Amino acid sequence: MAIQTLPIDRPRAISLPSTAGISHRDDRALLDDMAEIVAVQRQVEGTLAVFAAELARRSDRSLGQSGLAAREGFARVGDLLQAVTGVSKSASGSLVAAGELLAGAKPWLGSVARAMESGELSIATGAAIAAGLGTPGADVSADALADAAVELVESAAGVAPEQSGADARRRRAELDVASVADLDEHRFAKRSFLSGTNPDGTVWGRYVADPENGAVIMDALRTITASRRPEFRDADEVAAEREHDPRTPDQRDFDAFVSIIKLGISSKDQHLFGHNDATVRVHVSVESLTTGDGVAWIEGVDDLQPATTAQRIACTAGIIPIILDRTGNVLNVGRAQRLFTTAQRIALAARDGGCVIPGCRVPARFCESHHTTPWREGGKTDLADGVLLCRFHHHMVHAQQWRIMRDADSTYWLEPPPGSRAPRKRLTSKTPPLRT
Query: Tens of pLDDT along the chain (436 residues)?
Result: 333 344 445 455 667 788 888 888 888 889 888 888 888 888 888 888 888 888 888 998 898 899 998 999 988 888 898 898 888 887 888 888 888 888 787 889 999 988 888 778 888 888 889 988 988 988 889 999 999 999 999 988 878 888 898 889 888 888 888 777 777 788 888 889 888 888 888 888 888 888 878 877 887 777 767 644 444 445 555 566 556 677 787 888 888 888 777 766 665 544 433 444 446 677 777 777 777 788 887 777 778 888 777 766 665 555 554 433 343 333 444 444 455 677 777 788 888 888 888 888 788 877 888 887 765 566 666 777 788 888 788 878 877 888 888 888 778 899 888 888 788 888 888 877 665 5
**Residues 160 and 229 grouped into a single domain:** no
DSSP H helices, 66-210, are: 68-71, 77-85, 89-102, 110-118, 123-133, 142-154, 161-175, 177-189
For residue 148, the model assigns a pLDDT of: 93
> Which of 141, 133, 142, 137 shows the shortest CA–CA distance to 107?
142
> Which of 350, 382, 344, 376 shows the shortest CA–CA distance to 363?
350
Instruction: Classify residue 332: in a domain, yes or no.
Output: no
**Residues 88 and 192 grouped into a single domain:** no
Phi-psi region of 353 (alpha: psi -120 to 50; beta: other; left: phi over 0): left
Cα 409 to Cα 191, 322, 416: the distances in Å are 44, 22, 21
Residue 396 lies in domain: 342-427
For residue 145, the model assigns a pLDDT of: 94
CA 273 to chain centre: 30
**Residues 162 and 244 grouped into a single domain:** no
**Residues 27 and 95 grouped into a single domain:** yes
For residue 304, the model assigns a pLDDT of: 82
Domain end, chosen from 176, 200, 233, is at 176
For residue 108, the model assigns a pLDDT of: 92
**Residues 138 and 51 grouped into a single domain:** yes
> Which of 218, 369, 376, 225 shows the shortest CA–CA distance to 298?
218
> Which of 266, 276, 268, 430 shows the shortest CA–CA distance to 361?
430
> Which of 79, 431, 144 shows the shortest CA–CA distance to 284?
431
For residue 3, the model assigns a pLDDT of: 36
Instruction: Classify residue 12: in a domain, yes or no.
Output: no
For residue 111, the model assigns a pLDDT of: 92
For residue 434, the model assigns a pLDDT of: 63
**Residues 191 and 53 grouped into a single domain:** no
Q: Is the pTM of this model over 0.85?
A: no
Vertex 109 angle, CA 105 and 112, to 5°: 115
Instruction: Classify residue 66: in a domain, yes or no.
Output: yes
For residue 229, the model assigns a pLDDT of: 43
**Residues 269 and 355 grouped into a single domain:** no
**Residues 63 and 43 grouped into a single domain:** yes
For residue 231, the model assigns a pLDDT of: 45
Instruction: Classify residue 411: in a domain, yes or no.
Output: yes
**Residues 170 and 26 grouped into a single domain:** yes
Domain count, the chain: 3
Helix (H) or strand (E) holding 12: none
Instruction: Classify residue 102: in a domain, yes or no.
Output: yes
**Residues 314 and 382 grouped into a single domain:** no
For residue 378, the model assigns a pLDDT of: 63
**Residues 188 and 260 grouped into a single domain:** yes
